Amino acid sequence: MSDASLQEIAIIADRFEAEASSASGPGAAIAWDSASGSDIGRVRHINEDAFLDSQEQRLWVVADGMGGHSRGDYASSAVVEQLRAFPRQISVLANLQDMETRLQVAHEKCRTAFRKHRPGTTVAAMLAHGNYCFGLWAGDSRIYRLREGQLEQLTQDHSQAQEKYARGELTAQELTNHQSAHVLTRSVGAPKNLRLEMRYTPVHEGDRYLLCSDGLYNPVEPGDIRAT
């Protein structure tokens, strides 16, 4: 798995396009199936989660409205509605640029929709292209991959606790339950500027991917996620 900016993607795009367009290439044989769902849970009266499950576009999205900010449901819905209209193109670079633009539009809508509120949401989006998957995210919604029985978190939370862990101020055990684990450093809508992170990873036959909010991975142990 590699970190990648759009500029880096541009450099390697020709290789991706050759693999994706080759009828005999490994990407041509990959078939996708998916399922999705959401539950309001036991804490809030409004479900502030939104998701997109589009096998046709090979695009999957989870957005978790931020409960500490008014109208988190508006923010998560704005993200999904922008990406729902995503027109898949042949070029992986064009697809990623379009996704980034649409998320920027959702960000601006959240910033200007209400006078007194700045609704915010996390986003985790995954685009399958050829025999690669591209993850684009902000906040603490996650993308996991199950490969040969091993569950791996492909995204890194954008939180104050994660930054403290990176600086060596927290241990791995302290990271999960630290009070700043839910203080996000990136999101759609709430901060002035939208900062997205992107990674790509090769797809292997038999891989399974999970996009989810903290409403799943906080109460459910990684071993139970893997087993399920």
Quick: pLDDT tens for 25-83.
Answer: 444 568 899 999 998 877 777 889 999 999 999 999 999 999 766 789 999 999 999 99
**pLDDT over 70 for what percent of the chain?**
86
CB atoms under 10 Å from CB of 68, counted, come to 11
CB atoms under 10 Å from CB of 49, counted, come to 27
Rounded mean pLDDT, 9-17: 59
Quick: pLDDT tens for 183-199.
Answer: 899 999 999 999 999 99
**What is the sign, positive or negative, of the torsion defined by CA atoms of 191, 125, 59, 227?**
negative
Entry pTM: 0.88
CA distance linking residue 91 with residue 14, whole number of Å: 9
**Element housing 197 (H / E):** strand 197-202
CA distance linking residue 213 with residue 228, whole number of Å: 16
